[in-house]
Each structure stands twice: as structure tokens, then as C-alpha cells.
Amino acid sequence: MNLNGMIADLKRMSDRELRELAAQYGVELSSGEVRKLRPLLDEVSFSFLWSGVPDSFIRKVEAIIGPERTRRIMEQYL
């Protein structure tokens, strides 16, 4: 599956399904956090794979889930 297809699949998931998927990867999210993070899916770009996740995007995630949780996720998965 390509990145765009994966993002499209994530967009179609319910908040509950996204929370369950995140939990499978050890990331606990509240329904409110999922709702706030969802619009960021539109900003994910293939270029992240080559040049890394932009600081501006990371700051948006930090504003939603906090810097410590963001740092742990970045260290573990990126």
C-alpha cells in the first residue's frame, strides 16, 4: 500500500478505531486527541520520508499530545 492509500484508510476510520490502532503501537490517545490530530493527516507528505518530519508539524503534534509523548513517539517510530 502506498502512503496516500494508508492515509486515506486512516481518514475513513472512526475515532475509536484510530485509538485502538494507536494503542496497538503503544500510543494511548483520548478521543479528543484523535479529533485534534485528524486534520494533520492532510499535512503528511511523502517528503517526510526523505527530509524528515518538519519542525512545524512536530510543534502541532506537541500542542495536542504534549512534548514528552511526542518525543517518545518520534524516538520509537521515526
Whether residue 27 is predicted with pLDDT greater than 90 in this model: the reply is yes
Report helix, strand or coil for 48.
helix
Q: In which domain, by residue range, is 40 found?
A: 3-77
**What radius of gyration, in Å, describes the C-alpha atoms of the chain?**
12
51 CB contacts (<8 Å, ≥6 apart)? none
| Cβ–Cβ under 8 Å, residues 57 and 73 | no
- The backbone torsions φ and ψ at residue 44, rounded to the nearest 5 degrees and listed phi first, read -65, 135
- Residue 4 to residue 8: CA distance in whole angstroms: 6
Task: Work out how many domains the chain is built from and give that number.
Answer: 1
Per-residue pLDDT tens over the stretch 40-74: 999 998 888 889 999 999 999 999 999 999 999 99
Q: What is the pTM of this model?
A: 0.88
Whether residue 28 is predicted with pLDDT greater than 70 in this model: the reply is yes
